[in-house]
Structure 1
Amino acid sequence: MRFLFLAILLIPACSKLGDVGKAPSFSPIEGSFQHHAMYSTPVPEFAEPSGPTEASSLWTAKSGSLFGDRRAGQRGDILTVVIQIDDKAEISNSSGRSRTGSQSMAVPELFGIPQRLDEKLPTGASMANAVSTSSDSTFAGQGSVQRNEKLTLRVAATVVEELPNGVLRIEGQQEVRVNFELRELIVTGYVRPADISRQNEITYDRIAGARIAYGGRGQISDVQQPRYGQQITDTVLPF
């Protein structure tokens, strides 16, 4: 039983032994949506017979021309996503509450009844000061939230799907490896063709359902992460 428990603990460690002394590998692009969109055969467009005027004219609306529309508009096209996040939020709240109350009731004379009761009460007790209460409560609370995020990136994305309503689904991945650390950027979402600029660019705030992931993996990232045992301990222990 002990050997089985040790084997279970060593399985995650054994999976990392193959990466010792090696740089992190890139994620394969084969099999992704971008790969299928780039290598898919487009539907042939209906070509009208060109006359002498069109053949000799410098003005043409084709995407390969100087004056044509170069914006992404169909599956397999590429556009640039501009990410410029400079958000700052600051919230500060404070509240206070104070309450003081006192109440007293005395019955010095009531047909001589208090005097008769005083004879039966313990020494020092008197109906002249029958009830006396007081209360005091104080509450104070204060909280603050400060966030500051700044990110400036540009990444090329591929149109992987054209929806029936004309909206384009895009997906972009970028990986840069420096020594033994790999930096990766992933962008996905939905865009309208009308929001794409003439420079074939679109800002992140015009992407619906945007999913932007910026991180890295490698030796430095592994050192910064807690060990598996510590993560399990933090999850299991109630204190």
Structure 2
Amino acid sequence: MEMKRTLLNLSIASVLLFVSISSLTFATSLYTSSTNPQFKNILGTYKPSRVGDYVTVVVYESPRISTSSQVNTLTNAFINAINTGTKLVGLDLSKYLPSSGSSTDKRDNKSQANAVLELTAVVKEVDQQGKLFLEGRKQIKVGNDLREIIITGWVHPDAIKPGNIVNSTDLINAQIWENGKIVFQDDPQESSWLGLLLSAIANLFKF
């Protein structure tokens, strides 16, 4: 009788050990080996990966804008684009900046600690590589009028930080729309100018 009880206990212990090892192996395999972000989100912190998911786009102070005069100039250029229906292209903004600025530092604002603007964006599309197409809406004040602008752009999932934060400079092929017209468009072959422009016009959102 004692022998049977011992064998039964050993059998139960073996089964429990097998189930535990199998569960850990299966979970680890799903999380670390799968290329499907849905599986990776089972055990890890959830990251947006589907249409309808939300992220927060954060705009930081740009090191390329050092004076209030530059802020005013960029803001006026943006307002003029809205009022006249013209379109600002990324490199167009370079004429409003000091000529000594390096073309390699357009993304340096990722290192700045001071956030000047946040907006919620929704995932509208996911391409075959897993990049997410984001759309965010925000009201600005132009004179006495409130205008809604739409900000769009693609982001790689690896650029999404903890808390589902996306730096504005990580948006690819970014655009700003107002009243059905594009008022700003990044150069496809250039680093993002969106963060620089948004940091300059951040005061338009504070009303």
TM-score, length-scaled by structure 1: 0.34
- Greater RCO, CA 8 A, separation 6+: 2
So what's the TM-score if we normalise by structure 2? 0.38
Bigger Cα Rg? 1
Name the one with the larger strand percent: 1
